[in-house]
Amino acid sequence: MVYDLFIKLLRKNLYLVFHERYKNENANMFIERFGAKHPLLKPEFIIVNDQIHGFKKQNDRFSGLEKFPIFVELEYSEDEGEKLIEGVDIHAEANIKLKDRMSDVVKLAKLFEKTVMVERTRLLTDPSEESLVIYSRIGEMYASTYVEDDLDEGVIEEEELTAMIEKYLTGFATFLQALDDLIVKRRKISMIDGLYNLSDGK
């Protein structure tokens, strides 16, 4: 049940473009991997008289989000045909030169610290080469408790679980959009704060 809910919300909040699945025969464990993009990059249909006539042209305003490919890894076991999630990893990677925006990136990460964690990596041989890895904290939810048991035992209701998963997924997507505004579009942190009401916390 949790697996089906998670996949439903994943498809709702991210634009999934790739999928593969592996099975560990010895441990009866499965790993599913998805390649995804920000939901604003999802193509929209052109519909005339209830007929599909192709796709609308992508808004150039969102093209910078292509710099943030998203990777999803889902680990689960099966028990009598039911898929039991053991772990979740969702992250985005971007090779971006931060230059003078590093302090603003730190401020932005702190505003979203309830839903994302950000790592910066640099090559020792060439410090000018750097990248950001943005992790969704949704994995912590599955690491700290067995969600399926909590749901079965009434510790958490399905509506609460849905809201929790939505919070992590929307927080992750909103952070990527705010990061694009900050680094790619070169907007000021004060302007971004106002656009997304960040001072209220995510």
If one counts the domains in the chain, the total is: 1
Q: What is the pLDDT of residue 34?
A: 97
Tens of pLDDT, residue by residue over 9-46, are 999 999 999 999 998 877 778 999 999 999 998 876 55
Phi, psi of 14 (to 5 degrees): -130, 160
How many angstroms separate the CA atoms of 202 and 146, rounded?
Answer: 24
pLDDT < 70 regions, the chain:
44-60, 127, 144-145, 197-202
* Dihedral angle over CA of 92, 93, 97, 103, nearest 10: 40
Predicted pLDDT of residue 7: 95
pLDDT at position 58: 61
Confidence (pLDDT) at 191: 78
Per the structure, the complete domain to which residue 99 belongs is given by: 2-200
pLDDT, residue 149, reads: 72
The per-residue pLDDT for 198 is 63
